[in-house]
Chain A
């Protein structure tokens, strides 16, 4: 497909479980972003990759959140010991360049519900 894809689309986890969310960016896109979007809110920045390098992880809310992009393409966001406050939609976006007014292309998101 030509767009950003994310899997799974929906994930239900029991409190304390670990989850892994996958993002397949548009082929060739250098930049990749993860956002967290709570219900009725705008996206909140989590982390940013340029190729395989994680250049900014200032938005990760705790050390339970971990992201990687080992080969500079697919990225995984992992949440350990999930808590109810982690329930949100997790959005991935990719961008062709590293700066300037380049558009970010978003995937459909993974809706995480922690019971």
Chain B
């Protein structure tokens, strides 16, 4: 079992829909949780990070961490075609290194 599991998709939704992206992880000691967005033929770019449990909101994006169930989520409201990309969850281990999910390919249909 991988340390971070993420459904690769693709996930296809109509423009304006609410999108929910999720990851599960195995090590309860993890504290920093990140979401990166990667457009085709580009490097990943940080969207949001969360420390410990709880919610964090930034515009149309909300990151949520539930440490009791080892489950992290990213919600996108009012999705736009420009949100079409691969979304990668990443978790920072005790050595400040990132452990990555496989990425979920998201397609927003106009």
Q: Which residues of A are at the interface with B, using a C-beta cutoff of 8 A?
A: 4, 33, 40-45, 48, 56, 91, 93, 98-104, 106-109, 111
Given the interface pairs A56-B95, A100-B96, A101-B92, the reply to whether A43 lies near B44 with Cβ below 8 Å is yes
Q: Are B101 and A109 in contact, CB atoms less than 8 angstroms apart? A: no
- Residues in B with CB closer than 8 Å to A40 are 8, 102-103
Can you list 28 A-B contacts with CB-CB less than 8 angstroms, sorted by A residue number? A33-B97, A41-B102, A41-B103, A42-B6, A42-B90, A42-B102, A42-B103, A43-B88, A43-B98, A44-B100, A45-B98, A45-B99, A56-B97, A99-B96, A100-B96, A101-B32, A101-B49, A101-B92, A103-B49, A106-B43, A106-B45, A107-B43, A108-B41, A108-B42, A108-B43, A109-B41, A109-B42, A109-B43
Bound-state Cα–Cα, A98 to B95, Å:
10
Q: Are A42 and B88 in contact, CB atoms less than 8 angstroms apart? A: yes
Cβ of B46 within 8 Å of any chain A Cβ, yes or no, is: yes
Bound-state Cα–Cα, A98 to B97, Å:
10
- Residues in A with CB closer than 8 Å to B101 are 42
- Residues in A with CB closer than 8 Å to B43 are 4, 91, 93, 106-109
Bound-state Cα–Cα, A33 to B99, Å:
13
Q: Which residues of B are at the interface with A, using a C-beta cutoff of 8 A?
A: 4, 6, 8, 32, 41-46, 49, 51, 88, 90, 92, 95-103
Closest Cβ of chain A to B21, distance in Å, is: 13
Instruction: State the main secondary structure of chain B at its contact with A.
Output: strand
Using CB atoms, name the residue of chain A closest to B49: A101
- Residues in A with CB closer than 8 Å to B92 are 101
Closest Cβ of chain A to B76, distance in Å, is: 19
Closest Cβ of chain A to B77, distance in Å, is: 23
Bound-state Cα–Cα, A45 to B97, Å:
8
8 closest A-B pairs by CB: A106-B43, A42-B100, A103-B46, A99-B96, A42-B102, A101-B32, A106-B44, A42-B103
